[in-house]
Amino acid sequence: FPGTYNARRDNLEGGFWKGLFGTSHGIMIVNAFFENVARDGSNVVLEFRPKPTQDMLVACLWSRWSAPGEPDLLSFAAITDEPPTEVAAAGHDRCIVPIKEENIDAWLQPEPSNLAAQYAILDDRQRPYYEHRLAA
């Protein structure tokens, strides 16, 4: 299915993401992200940017699904967690998890038998301040 997906940090070992966390990690480099929020009874899209402006290394999971007679589906999902105060105040209940540059190799080469180390990388994240505006 086309689209952008999120993998909730509180559900990485169960359900849909089971088997990917600890084995199939990726990174997405972004300097903004967009979220749907309710404003005055309707849906609006907000753009969130870190201040100062910077590239963020967003923790992701990826997968390849195959089915007989169908083309392979390559997919990924950004890992999300509880939002910082300014994102919650803007009306959204999740936020991407940008990891620190020094954790890239450990994130991209996870040890499936040591999920605690992967959670530690998610805990030791960058914590920029996010400004938001209505997306054009």
Q: What predicted TM-score, i.e. pTM, was given to this entire model?
A: 0.90
pLDDT of res. 57: 98
Range 8-30 average pLDDT: 92
Apex 19 CA angle, 64 and 3, nearest 5: 45
108 SS3 class: helix
Work out the burial of residue 125: count CB atoms within 10 Å of its CB; fewer than 13 is exposed, 13-18 middle, 19 or more buried. buried
Q: Is the pLDDT of residue 106 over 60?
A: yes
**pLDDT 10s digits, 48-100:** 999 999 999 999 999 888 889 998 888 889 999 999 999 999 999 999 999 99
Cβ proximity of 64 and 73 under 8 Å = yes
Averaged pLDDT of the chain: 93
